[in-house]
Chains A and B, each alone.
Chain A
Amino acid sequence: MDESPERWFGVGRSLLGDPAEAGAAAAREALRDRRASLLVVFASLPYATQAMAEAVHGAAGGAVPMIGCSTAGEFGPDGRGESVVVLAFGGPGFQTSVRAVPAGSCDLREAGMRAAACLDDITSEHRTVLLLGDGRSSDQQEMVRGAYAVAGAGVPLVGACAADGLTQTSTRHFFSDGAGVQVLTNGVLAAALGSAAPLGIGLAHGWRKTGEPMVVTRSHQGKIFELDGERALDVYLRRSGAAADLPSDPGAFFAFATVHPLGLSRRTGEDLRVIFAADVADGSISGLADTPEGAMAWYMEVDPEAVTGAAAAAAAQAVDALDGADPLGVFVFDCCVRGLALGPDGADAAGRQLAEALAGVPFGGFYSNGEIVRTTGAKGMHHLTVAALAVG
């Protein structure tokens, strides 16, 4: 492992059958014998093992900070699917510091605060906190609120929540502060990045509001009982054009509703709410995050081209935010539900557009259970979006 005289960013991906071998191969491809400032590893559930995490860390020469998590699939310049993807960067001018907060050690807000405390170790001009939350835990916004309380308005937050391949089981996080490798279940990780060059962040989705606005007239947390004073389920089925008997098959409703979200009206755009369940008895629909009473909401329709192009759009935004600096590489976090909306061909097209937009710049990422971007305002948790972090 050599100290590289130049700043670099590498991506490696392996489909080898053995998790440890795949991890080692992906790490070697990303590192190419260079000493990394940070290792970031994403692995599908079959690969998300202690052996894989140790192999990645070992292949990087040990004594390197590492974060990572399980996913609903990974992708890189050469494709997507179940694999191990390793992203690494190093060279002069980088600072990194990492933290892990195990599940159950504190509430989610406190977990966000403890994780983001890694920022204390960073003094660089350009800073950000890369968060890997847990898509299986309850309201991840709480975790992001905690991180924001520590980072403040001066430091952007970016990242995503770990996924479990849509198995609804549990997620894994891979962590090393340099010494030893841990695999955590449903934890929260953070890496504070400092750089002498700018770091850019982007966010895009591709749904668009349609029809008239509705007011959420009765709701409790993520459950919406009434829209415009009418049973929310009735309004939702009517607006989305879904069959009246769709809710009688929860599986079919889930498949349909996850890609037909509601958008809450925000000053600077829409805040998407994934709907995943319906209750015929009380006429409610349930979303993944809180939907306050009195909120103004729109039914959102898919703009197929914009949804396909969202990953490319987010990456391009992130690169644009580098203030003219050349991108070394880009982290991309793409909501796993988008894949359902796009279908396999759409997902392939999205990947091609992303590669075209980045024109040879290395990139990698995973299909996530919630995306994190806080650059303006105080909220940072997003759904059905693509988040990107460009390293300059």
Chain B
Amino acid sequence: MGSNWSTLQLTEFFSAITRSGDVPGAAGLAVERAAEATEAEIAAVLAGGDLLACLGMGRDPRPAALAGVAAADECVTIAGLGTFHSTVHPLGDDTGGRLVLGRRDAAFEAEERQMLQGMAKVLGLALRGLRTLAAERDLRREREQQAEDRLVLVTALEKREQLLETLLQIQRAVSQRAPLQEVLDAVTRGAGAVLDGAPAALVLRDADHPDRTMVASLAPGHEAARHDPAVLGAAVRAMRKDHPVEHAAVLATPVHVGGDVAGSLVLGPVADTVRAGERRDVLLAFAEQASLALTGAHSIAAVRQAYHDGLTGLPNRMLFLERLDRALEVATRTRTRIAVLFLDLDLFKQVNDTLGHATGDELLRGVAGRLGAAVRGGDMAARLGGDEFAILLEPVADGAQAREVAERITQAVARPFTIAGNQVLTRASIGIALSDHATASGDALVQDADVAMYRAKKSRPGSCLMFEAGMRTDLLRHVALSADAAGAFEAGDFRLAYQPIVALRDARPVAMEALLRWTHPRLGEITPDTFVPLAEQSGLIVALGRWALREACHQLARWHAGGLPELTVSVNVSARQLADERLAADVGTALAEAGVPPAALTLDISESALTHDPGQVLRRLRALARTGVRLAVDDFGSGACPMAHLGRLPVDQLKIDNSLLDGVADDPRRLAIVRSVLELGRTLGLQTVAEGVAEPAQLAALAGLPCELAQGFLFAAPMPAAEVPEFVARPGLLGAVR
């Protein structure tokens, strides 16, 4: 957090100053309170070359040491005491007086300067009143003045009392955190009343539109000023210049928040009884009040916001980590242990997507409430962001105790939430990390719990898992590889290899399946089994798949042009791509750019991808089918897709999963399964492809079955595009392998 103190601490200062009976007393109190509030060593009030009061320079201060300090100076060096960061604030009185402070260890911050500015203005007004009082005493002593003069002075004194009393009341309202609007209204009402009912308006910049203004408060009875161009014009000029301006009897002075101009306090024409200088001083003093009220409101809100999550009211990450670091320090010292539970909601995205963000927010609030009830007294639950929460258990005896709390939480969260009449279900996956003497920081403990949560979510969503050291290594590799994949894609390091698909009838290669390949600069060849899931998780797969599609189509066009006009190409489409509504358009673009006929492209969609959101899948497949491309169900027979479902899909080809071919040559039962799958394909009018044919015996087994095409290492390993024409031209392929 930035400033730890608040500008609200001025009531004390105001009340002390206004109670003071003489100029030296008021100035002396002012330097003392100003220095203590800002932890400054040096404070002084200078007026016309005299030191009215001074603190920190011993009993014999030399005015000359400070007389030269100008507002622009950032440092002052005082003989025998050293160099201090300085700040200078005009009192705004007739004497050109200034409040000067010096601090050894750090420069004054904007909020401190603003508070000192407020102190200086009030001091200026108090000193003016005290001087008037002193003058009246002199007059009384002389006993020569006429009654009329006395009357003027008495009036002036009453006004001074009224003014300081009004300012004190406003300051009290600020420090008691009265609603901001009440404080601002008190400022305009007070300024108007002190200046014989003059119209006063507080004009603020619109926070969302800095070029617009709004009238935040008006003195009662002056509603017309709200739209008075003279008032608004003066307000804008004062804001622009950051200096008081006066035009056509309208006076405006800027109002600040934390040192930045935030608006203006504007005063319309006043009665003749008020002197021009007085009018200006009073306006400046009230403008400081408005600034302090706005800054105070701002800083308090900032303190609270800085430590809490606005949605759930739980402590946020910052407060959690602060408390965690402290707990860890105590645990290390006292040789006790603490635990961090890292909680992530399963299905939260689906709730947000299907039921809307308002329901999602309500769910987070509900979860926060249940966390509070499930943890032990003294434990701290915090929202780290999104659907992630963390719980600090301090202290814990062992892992079992932490697990007990974690399980209580998973049970609490798993109970249905009723939101706007709907039953909403979610689950919490929780990772548990326990501190030990080697735990380096709170942050590291949270990371460990996060890693364990990730594992829990992957292996069994809605469960709890204790962190183990090996998890981190796995995850680090995973994360690094995922980042590397993104980089490799950007750098164009992915390539395609092509594996022939052969017609069993005449041993002729009829198609090429495009397969993604990635050679990692350090780790060597990374298999698609490793990088495709990573790209699926990170979302990279969409861009990567789109690239593969275009690349394969362009390659096909080159083969067509190079004398292989019958060749077709198969390209894999992932579940994530299938969910992307732009897929059909991407396919159309790829075909059009390459200039190949749609029927020459087959899209392989894995059986498992077809089971997510069947309605959406069907719509996507129909859209793809309309482009004229052929669709294949890849890895068929792995068990994910119900047979009944298959008949409804607009697909052309069935690629039999290579696991079905294992042992097919020796085991009649396996052969029977393969036969039935192939016959199903034929019944549905689908072309069938046997994948992963690696041995001659497998090929022989297929011979008597209704299988049209085959693919596998027995025929050829995936090869670079350049080698394909030569492979296709090679005669007697089947003969070679039989």
Give the residue name and chain of the B residue nearest to A119 (CB). Answer: B58
* B321 vs chain A, min Cβ distance (A): 15
Residue of A nearest to B330 (CB): A303
Name the B residues within 8 Å of A268 (CB-CB): 39, 105
Are A296's CB and B6's CB within 8 A? yes
Residues of B close to A215: CB separation below 8 A: 6, 8, 175, 177, 300
Mark contacts of A296-330 with chain B using CB atoms, 8 A cut-off: 1 yes-contact digit, 0 otherwise.
Answer: 10000001010000000000000000000000000
Query: Given the complex, which residues of B lie within 8 Å of A379, measured CB to CB?
Result: 36, 39
Contact A153 B42 (CB under 8 A): yes
Q: Using Cβ atoms and an 8 Å threshold, which residues of chain B touch A149?
A: 55, 59
Shortest Cβ distance from B38 into A: residue: A267
Q: What is the CA–CA distance of A290 and B12 in the complex, to the nearest angstrom? A: 10
Q: Is B40 an interface residue, CB under 8 A from the partner?
A: yes
Residues facing B in A206-232 (CB within 8 A) are 208, 212-213, 215-218, 226, 228-229
Q: Which residues of A contact B176 (CB under 8 A)?
A: 217-218, 226, 229, 293
- For A213, give its contact among B80, B106, B172, B303 (CB under 8 Å): B303
List chain B residues, Cβ under 8 A from A290: 12
Q: Which residues of B contact A228 (CB under 8 A)?
A: 177
Residue A148 at the B interface, CB < 8 A?
yes
A32 at the interface (CB under 8 A from B): no
Known: A152-B57, A305-B333. A376 touches B12 (CB 8 A): no
Are A266 and B56 also in contact (CB < 8 A) when A153-B41, A293-B175, A379-B39 are?
no
Smallest Cβ distance from A335 to chain B, in angstroms? Answer: 21
A305 touches B334 (CB 8 A): yes
Return the contact of B5 from the options A151, A153, A265, A376 (Cβ within 8 A). Answer: A265
Given A213-B303, A267-B5; A150-B59 close (CB under 8 Å): yes
The digit string for A127-158, where 1 denotes a CB below 8 A from any CB of B, is: 00000000000000000010011111110000
In the bound assembly, the distance between CA atoms of A257 and B41 in angstroms comes to: 32
Nearest to A270 among chain B residues (CB) is B4
Bound Cα distance from A226 to B35, whole angstroms:
26
Contacts of B489 in A (CB 8 A): none
**Distance A148 CA – B41 CA, assembled complex (angstroms):** 10
Contact B5 A266 (CB under 8 A): yes
CA distance A294 to B300 in the complex (A): 10
* B14-50 contact mask (Cβ, 8 Å, vs A): 1 or 0: 0000000000000000001001101111110000000
Interchain pairs with CB closer than 8 A, number? 115
In contact, A212 and B4 (Cβ under 8 angstroms): no
Query: A154 and B12: CB pair below 8 A?
Result: no
Give the docked Cα–Cα distance between A212 and B39 (Å).
23
Q: Within 8 Å of chain B (Cβ to Cβ): is A346?
A: no
Is the Cβ of A266 less than 8 Å from the Cβ of B4? yes
Does A152 contact B9, Cβ atoms closer than 8 Å? no
Determine the chain A residues whose CB is within 8 A of the CB of B296 once the complex forms: 294
Interface residues as binary, B82-120 with A (CB distance below 8 Å gives 1, 0 otherwise): 101000000000000000001111100000000000000
Which residue of chain B has the shortest Cβ distance to A212 in the bound complex? B307
Contacts of A150 in B (CB 8 A): 58-59
Instruction: State whether the Cβ of B81 lies closer than 8 Å to any Cβ in chain A.
Output: yes
A215-B177, A292-B11, A295-B9 given; A378·B40 CB < 8 A: yes
B56 close to A208 (CB less than 8 A): no
- Most B CB contacts (10 A, CB to CB) among A151, A154, A303, A379 go to A154
Please count how many residues in chain B sit with their CB below 8 Å of the partner chain's CB atoms: 48
B357 at the interface (CB under 8 A from A): no
**A292→B39 contact, CB < 8 A:** no
Q: By the criterion CB–CB under 8 Å, are B5 and A378 in contact?
A: no
With A293-B176, A294-B9 in contact, is A265–B4 under 8 Å at CB?
A: yes
Inter-chain contact A293/B172, CB cutoff 8 Å: yes
Q: Pick the contact of A208 from B36, B103, B172, B326 — CB < 8 Å?
A: B326
Partner of B81, one of A153, A213, A226, A266: A153
Q: Is B582 an interface residue (CB 8 A)?
A: no
Return the chain B residue nearest A380 by Cβ: B36
Indicate if A377 sits at the interface (CB-CB under 8 A).
yes
Q: Is B633 an interface residue (CB 8 A)?
A: no
Are B8 and A294 in touch, CB under 8 angstroms?
yes
Decide if B175 touches A296 in the complex (CB within 8 Å).
no
Contact call A293/B55, Cβ cutoff below 8 A: no
Check B651 for interface membership: any CB of A closer than 8 A: no
B174 contacts A by Cβ under 8 Å: yes
Contacts of B174 in A (CB 8 A): 294
Say how far A16's CB is from chain B's closest CB, in angstroms.
40
Known: A152-B58, A215-B177, A217-B175. A266 touches B9 (CB 8 A): no
B304 at the interface (CB under 8 A from A): yes
B59 and A295: CB pair below 8 A? no
Could you mark each residue 223-243 of chain A with 1 if its beta carbon is under 8 Å from any beta carbon of chain B, else 0? 000101100000000000000
User: Could you tell me the distance between the alpha carbons of A203 and B340 in the complex, rounded to whole angstroms?
Assistant: 34
Tell whether A378 pairs with B12 under 8 Å between CB atoms, given A213-B303, A303-B330. Answer: no
Contact B32 A378 (CB under 8 A): yes
CB A221 to nearest CB in B, in angstroms, measures 10
Interchain nearest-CB distance for B579 vs A (Å): 44
Contact status of A267 and B8, CB under 8 A, knowing A152-B81, A212-B304 = no
Task: Report yes or no: B59 in contact with A293, Cβ–Cβ below 8 A.
Answer: no
**A378 B39 Cβ-Cβ under 8 A:** yes
Contact B4 A154, beta carbon cutoff 8 Å: no
Instruction: State the CA gap A267–B9 with chains docked (Å).
Output: 13
Considering only residues 312-349 of chain B, those with a C-beta below 8 Å from chain A are: 326, 330, 333-334
Please indicate the chain A residues that have their CB under 8 angstroms from the CB of B36 in the complex.
377-379
Partner of A294, one of B6, B39, B82: B6
Q: Find out whether the CB atom of A153 lies under 8 angstroms from the CB atom of B56.
A: yes
A295 touching B6 in the complex, CB below 8 Å, given contacts A377-B35, A378-B36, A378-B39: yes
CB pair A376–B9 under 8 Å, yes or no, is no
Complex contact A378–B43 (CB within 8 A): yes
CA distance A148 to B35 in the complex (A): 12
Instruction: Say whether B413 faces chain A, with CB atoms less than 8 Å apart.
Output: no
| A354-392 interface with B by 8 A CB criterion | 376-379
B682 to chain A, nearest CB (A): 72
Select from chain A the residue with minimum beta-carbon distance to B57. A152
Structural contact, B330 and A292, CB atoms closer than 8 A = no
Cβ B9 vs Cβ A377 within 8 A:
no
Question: Could you tell me the distance in whole angstroms from the C-beta of B8 to the nearest C-beta in chain A?
Answer: 3
B330 contacts across to A, CB distance below 8 A: 303, 305
Assembled-state Cα–Cα distance A134/B522 (Å): 75
The smallest C-beta distance from B364 to any residue of chain A, in angstroms, reads 21
Per-residue contact bits, chain A 267-301, to B (CB 8 Å; 1 contact, 0 not):
11000000000000000000000101111100000
Decide if B10 is an interface residue (CB 8 Å cutoff): yes
A165 CA to B58 CA, complexed, in Å: 35
Residue of A nearest to B1 (CB): A213
A376 pairs with B59, CB closer than 8 A: no
| Interface pair B105/A376, CB less than 8 Å apart | yes
Using CB atoms and an 8 Å cutoff, list the residues of chain B in contact with chain A. 3-12, 32, 35-36, 38-43, 55-59, 80-82, 84, 102-106, 172, 174-177, 296, 300, 303-304, 307-308, 326, 330, 333-334
19 other contacts beyond A153-B81, A294-B174, with CB at 8 A cut-off? Answer: A152-B58, A153-B42, A153-B102, A212-B307, A218-B176, A226-B176, A229-B176, A229-B177, A266-B39, A268-B105, A293-B9, A294-B6, A294-B296, A295-B9, A296-B6, A305-B333, A377-B36, A378-B32, A378-B43
7 sample A-B contacts, Cβ–Cβ < 8 Å, listed by A number: A152-B57, A154-B80, A213-B303, A217-B177, A267-B39, A290-B12, A376-B39
Closest 9 CB pairs of A and B: A294-B8, A294-B175, A152-B58, A377-B39, A153-B41, A378-B35, A292-B12, A153-B56, A265-B4
